Structure 1
Amino acid sequence: MAALRLAGAGKEVTLLERKAIGGTCIHDGCMLVCGLNDVARSINTISFLKNSGVIDGNASVRFPDVIQKLEGVQRKLETILERETKAAGVVIEYDAAVEIRDGKLFVNGEPRKAENIIIATGAGIHVPDIPGSSLSGTYTAKTLRTMPTLPKKLAIIGGGISAAEFAYIYAAFGCEVTIFCRSVLLPILPEKMMKAALRDLANVTILYGQVEEILGKDKVEGVRMDGKDLPFDAVLFATGMKAETSLFTGMKKNPDGSIKVNERMETSIPGIYAAGDVTGAPYFTPVARLQGFAAADSILGHPRTVDLDQIPFTIVLGLDYTICAPKKGEEGVTFSSPNIAGPESFWHVADGSVGSMHLTVSKEDGLILGFATAAPSTSIVGTYLGYLVRKGVTVHEFSPMLEVHPTPDGMYSMIRLADDALNRQ
Structure 2
Amino acid sequence: MIYIVGGGPAGRMAAVRLASAGKEVTLFEKRALGGQCVHDGCMLVCGLNDVARSIRDTEFLRNTGVIEGTVSVRYPEVMRRLEEVQARLSKILERETLDAGVKIQYGVTAEVEGRSVIADGVRYDDAEAVIVASGAEMYVPDVSGAGLFGTYTARTIRSMPALPKRMAIVGGGISAAEFAYIFSSFGVEVSLFARSSFLSMLPKRMHKAALRDLSSVHIYENAPIGRVLGSDHVVGVVAGDVTVACDAVLFATGVRPHSPHVRGFLKNADGSIVVNEKMETSVRGVYACGDVVGAPYFTPVSRLQGFAAADAILGVSRTVDLSRIPFTVVLGLDYTVCRDADASGASFASPNIAGPGSVWHVSDGSVGTMELNVDTSNGQIVGFSSSGPGTGLVGTYLGYLVRKGVTVHEFSSMLEIHPISDGLYSMIRFAEDHLADQKRE
> 96-105 or 163-172: which moved more?
96-105
Residues 320-331 of structure 1 correspond to what in structure 2 (within 5 A)? 320-326=334-340, 328-331=341-344
1:330 deviates by 1.6
Partner of 1:98: 110
1:142-173: CA deviations, max 9, x gaps? 00000000010000000000000000000000
The 2-side partners of 1:336 and 1:30 are apart by 29
Partner of 1:54: 66
The 1-side partners of 2:113 and 2:308 are apart by 24
1:66-114: CA deviations, max 9, x gaps? 0000000001101111111111111110011111124321111221132
Partner of 2:226: 212
Partner of 1:349: 362
Partner of 2:9: none
RMSD between superposed Cα atoms in Å: 0.9
> 366-375 or 217-226: which moved more?
217-226
SS in 2 for 1:423: helix
Matched, 1:202 2:215: yes
Q: Please point out which of 281, 284, 294 is paired with 2:308.
A: 294
1:342-391: CA deviations, max 9, x gaps? 00000001110000000000111111010000000001100000000000
1:120-149: CA deviations, max 9, x gaps? 111111100000001111000000000000
Partner of 1:165: 178
SS in 1 for 2:315: coil
The 2-side partners of 1:201 and 1:225 are apart by 20
Partner of 2:325: 311
Relative distance call for 1:377 and 1:228 in structure 2 (3 A) is: closer
Partner of 2:130: 117
The 1-side partners of 2:390 and 2:185 are apart by 19
Q: Please point out which of 81, 85, 96 is paired with 2:93.
A: 81
Matched, 1:252 2:283: no
SS in 2 for 1:36: helix
Matched, 1:30 2:35: no
Any unmatched runs of 5+ in structure 1? none
Matched, 1:128 2:141: yes
Partner of 2:21: 9
Contact map agreement 1:395 1:418 (CA 8 A) in 2: yes
The 1-side partners of 2:63 and 2:252 are apart by 32
1:170-195: CA deviations, max 9, x gaps? 00000000001111100111112111
Contact map agreement 1:243 1:277 (CA 8 A) in 2: yes
Partner of 2:4: none
Q: Please point out which of 409, 423, 441 is paired with 1:410.
A: 423
The 2-side partners of 1:329 and 1:294 are apart by 26
Partner of 2:434: 421
The 1-side partners of 2:242 and 2:190 are apart by 17
The 2-side partners of 1:199 and 1:138 are apart by 27
Q: Please point out which of 394, 397, 405 is paired with 1:384.
A: 397
Any unmatched runs of 5+ in structure 2? 1-12
Matched, 1:152 2:162: no
Contact map agreement 2:25 2:102 (CA 8 A) in 1: yes
Residues 249-288 of structure 1 correspond to what in structure 2 (within 5 A)? 249-288=263-302
1:228 deviates by 4.3
SS in 1 for 2:385: strand
Provide the TM-score with structure 2 as the length reference. Answer: 0.95
Contact map agreement 1:103 1:250 (CA 8 A) in 2: no
1:116 deviates by 0.6
Q: Please point out which of 186, 189, 192 is paired with 1:176.
A: 189
Provide the TM-score with structure 1 as the length reference. Answer: 0.99
SS in 2 for 1:77: helix
Contact map agreement 2:368 2:386 (CA 8 A) in 1: yes
1:284-329: CA deviations, max 9, x gaps? 0000000000000000011211000000000000000000012x43
SS in 2 for 1:55: coil
Partner of 1:44: 56
SS in 2 for 1:132: coil
The 1-side partners of 2:370 and 2:224 are apart by 34
Matched, 1:107 2:119: yes
Partner of 2:8: none
Partner of 2:250: 236
Partner amino acid for 1:402? L
Moved over 4 A (4+): none
SS in 2 for 1:424: helix
Residues 332-343 of structure 1 correspond to what in structure 2 (within 5 A)? 332-343=345-356
How high is the sequence identity, in percent, across the aligned residues? 60
SS in 1 for 2:131: strand
Between Structure 1 and Structure 2, how many residues are aligned? Answer: 424
Partner amino acid for 2:304? L
Partner amino acid for 1:181? A
The 2-side partners of 1:125 and 1:299 are apart by 30
Contact map agreement 2:115 2:129 (CA 8 A) in 1: no
Partner amino acid for 2:75? F
